[in-house]
Amino acid sequence: MMELSSDQLNQVAHKLQLHGYKLTKQRAMTLEVLVEEDTGYVTAEEIFMKIKRNYSSIGLATVYRTLDLFSELRIVRKFAFNDKSTRFGFRGEESEHSPSHLICKDCGSVEKVNEAWLSELERHVSRELGFQVLDQQLDFIGTYATCHEKKCKRWEERIGG
Amino acid sequence: MMELSSDQLNQVAHKLQLHGYKLTKQRAMTLEVLVEEDTGYVTAEEIFMKIKRNYSSIGLATVYRTLDLFSELRIVRKFAFNDKSTRFGFRGEESEHSPSHLICKDCGSVEKVNEAWLSELERHVSRELGFQVLDQQLDFIGTYATCHEKKCKRWEERIGG
DNA sequence: ATGGGTGCAAACTGTTTGCAAAGCA
DNA sequence: TGCTTTGCAAACAGTTTGCACCCAT
């Protein structure tokens, strides 16, 4: 559990302004929850509920819109675990690296892995965290050069076949 | 595009029987689509549509149920890309290893990475596939020992806080 | 007063479920 | 026959959208 520093807040405010957006109360509160929760990942619903305690008039749609915006501006990471609803996590400076997660098939919890390890990672995970790895998944998110130049053939390809 | 071998079919049939399930026509057809499509990943809807061509009476719910079953028996891998609907891919013998994917932010396509590479992977991906990596994600799917023994505290933890 | 931002409720979309009928062993 | 599996339609859950209002500049 970590607190939102005024430094972090300013940075985000700045980023928003750069792109023509404002740092509203709702956005600040969303950010706060995300930073506090930075060991795990939160769903939109969870954020909504937490904010509601201090600011009961907030709307769920606003939270969704804020999270979309934050994703766009890379303030937040968006994850689709096999766990029904999408989860979001704050992107600290450091965490440009690949985060790894333990996703428990039984309880559905999502825990970040200590970082730095990698090829021996699985062994670590099993020994030190008591987590039996059944499966793993490594994804790269990015863009094909061709897509970026709007010469993207794949749109069509996807449907056909 | 690969064809379903009778060997593969038998193997699956066997696996099903072992667990008390039958290899029905619908299940066989679902398998067929999955194997044919083994370079990428397919959604339930896509499978449904393909089967419908030869077997118009199939129901979407059946496809979902079949995919659940196949996941359970590890015949299939289930992926949640940030791409709205869940995608499924056939698990060949070999592919016990971590599959890596390129997920294009622009066109949404999902492509498997050649395997075997890994730490230099990102460089390869960028140079050889023209894919600019913006982000990556490594997940382990499995279970905590404690969860497996039904002593799982995390259920409660998830709500509270 | 002008434009973005918000809350609400309704719409949407992917997935799940209940049930009666059908299919196998 | 007994037990699984299926198709259909209705139910659900997470997310998105349209719109009138609100707020800050």
Does one domain contain both B12 and B48? Answer: yes
For nucleotide C24, give the residue with the nearest CA to its C1': B22
The verdict on B105 and B146 lying in the same domain is: yes
Residue A24 CA, chain-centre distance (Å), reads 20
Q: Does A75 touch chain B (CB under 8 A)?
A: no
Token pair 């993207």 in the structure block, residue: A152
pLDDT at residue B120 tops 60 = no
How much is the pLDDT for A7? 87
pLDDT band at B138 (very low <50, low <70, confident <90, very high): confident
pLDDT for the residue numbered A14: 92
pLDDT at residue A28, as a whole number? 96
- Beta strands B110-112 and A100-104 are unpaired
What the block records as the tokens of A60 is: 């769920």
Residues A63 and A17 in one domain: yes
Alpha-carbon distances of B59 from B36, B62, B69, rounded to whole Å: 20, 5, 16
Kindly state the average pLDDT of the residues B129-138: 70
Please judge whether B98 and A136 are an interchain contact, meaning their C-beta atoms are less than 8 angstroms apart.
yes
Q: Specify the number of domains making up chain A.
A: 2
> Are residues A61 and A19 part of one domain?
yes
Which of A1-10, A17-26, A97-106, A133-142 is the least confident region? A97-106
Distance CA B77, CA B28 (A): 17
**Which nt has its C1' nearest the CA of A64?**
D15
Q: Which residue has the higher pLDDT, B141 or A161?
A: B141
Distance from CA of B34 to the nearest CA of A (A): 13
Which domain range does residue A117 map to?
95-161
B65 is near strand C: CB distance < 7 Å: yes
CA distance A10 to chain B (A): 24
* pLDDT score of B13 more than 90: yes
**Percentage of chain A lying above the pLDDT 90 cut:** 37
CA dist B60 → A160, B33, B36, B46, B63 (Å): 20, 14, 19, 10, 5
Cα torsion through B38, B42, B48, B50, rounded to 10: -50
CATH number at residue A140: 3.30.1490.190
Which of A46, A94, A144, A120 is CA-nearest to residue B125? Answer: A144
Q: Summarize the confidence of residues B14-24 as an average pLDDT.
A: 94
Name the band, by pLDDT with cuts 50, 70 and 90, for residue A123. low
| pLDDT average, residue stretch B120-128 | 64
* pLDDT 10s digits, A21-32: 999 999 999 999
Residues A30-88: tens digit of each pLDDT: 999 999 886 678 999 999 999 999 999 999 999 999 999 999 898 998 888 777 789 99
CATH number of the domain residue A2 falls in = 1.10.10.10
Instruction: Give the closest nucleotide to B22 (alpha carbon vs C1').
Output: D4
The answer to whether A76 touches A34, Cβ cutoff 8 Å, is yes
C-alpha A69/C-alpha A140 separation (Å) is: 21
- Residue A107 assigned ligand-binding role: yes
Q: Are residues B112 and B131 in the same domain?
A: yes
| pLDDT band (50, 70, 90) for residue A96 | low
Bases of chain D within 7 A of a CB of the protein: 4-10, 13-18
Q: Measuring from the CA of residue B43 to each C1', which nucleotide is nearest? A: C14
Checking if the pLDDT of A125 tops 80, the result is: no
Q: Which of residues 44-63 of B touch A (CB under 8 A)?
A: none
The domain boundary residue, chosen from B94, B120, B148: B94
Considering only the beta carbons, identify the residue of A77, A104, A118 that sits closest to B154.
A104
Question: Where does residue B139 fall: left (phi above 0), alpha (psi -120 to 50 degrees), or beta otherwise?
Answer: beta
**Interval B61-87: pLDDT, tens:** 999 999 999 999 989 988 887 777 899
pLDDT exceeds cutoff 80 at B153: no
B72 contact residues in A (CB cutoff 8 A): none
Q: What is the mean pLDDT of residues A151-158?
A: 44
